[in-house]
Amino acid sequence: MPSGDLVHATGRGTIGIVAKGRPVAALVSALIPAVALVAGLPFVNRLEPVVLGLPFLLFWILGWVLVTPVFLAVAYVLTDTKADRTAGGAGR
């Protein structure tokens, strides 16, 4: 069973899926840690300053990995609407 009104047939062989909430804002939030982590690498390829005992390069990568859940949680809140919360349980 498709979950409520989220998925509905919109013609022959086509499934319409309605994106909820604010997908663009969510995308921006989620992309911040990805872009920062990767694009920063050429500039942080060094040992100093040592932060929390870690050489800077390792600290940079680890730091962005650790804060990614915060950015994704924001994206989750932005995409998760009231309609979704009621429809989500119908997905079984």
Partner 1 sequence: MTTPLLVIVAFVLVSAVVGVVGRGRGEMNVERWSVGGRRFGVVLVWLLTAGEIYTTFTFLGASGWAYSRGAPAFYILAYGTIGYIISFFLLPPVWRMAKHLGLHTQPDFFLARYDSPPLTGLVVLIAVVSIMPYLQLQLAGLGMIVEIASAGAVSSSVAIVVAFAVTCVFVYTSGIKGIAWVAIVKDAAMIVAVVVIGIGLPSMYFGSVGKMLTELIRRHPTHLTFPGGTPTMGVAWVISTILLTGMGFYCWPHTFASAFSAKDDRTLRRNAVIMPLYQLPILLVFFVGFTALLVMPGLKNPDTALLALVGRSYPGWFAGFVGGAGAVTAMVPAAMLLLGASTLVAKNVYRPLRRAAVGEQHLMRASRGFMLLIAVTALALALWSPNELVKLLIFGYDGIAQLFPGIVLGVFVRRVTARPVILGLAAGVAVVVGLIWSAHDPFLGLNAGFVGLAVNATVTLVSIAILNVGPPGGAHVLEARR
Contact 17, 6 (CB under 8 A): yes
How buried is 69 (Cβ within 10 angstroms: 0-12 exposed, 13-18 middle, 19+ buried)? exposed
Rounded-to-10 torsion of CA 48, 51, 56, 60: -150
Residues contributing to the site for partner 1 (CB under 8 A): 2-3, 6-7, 10, 13-20, 23, 26-27, 30-31, 33-34, 37-38, 41-42, 45-47, 50, 53-55, 57-58, 61-62, 64-66, 68-69, 72-73, 75-76, 79-80, 84, 88-89, 91-92
- Give least dist CB 5 to partner 1, A: 9
C-beta of 92: minimal distance to partner 1 in Å?
A: 5
Q: Is residue 72 helix, strand or coil?
A: helix
Residue type, 33: P
| Least CB distance to partner 1 at residue 58 (A) | 6
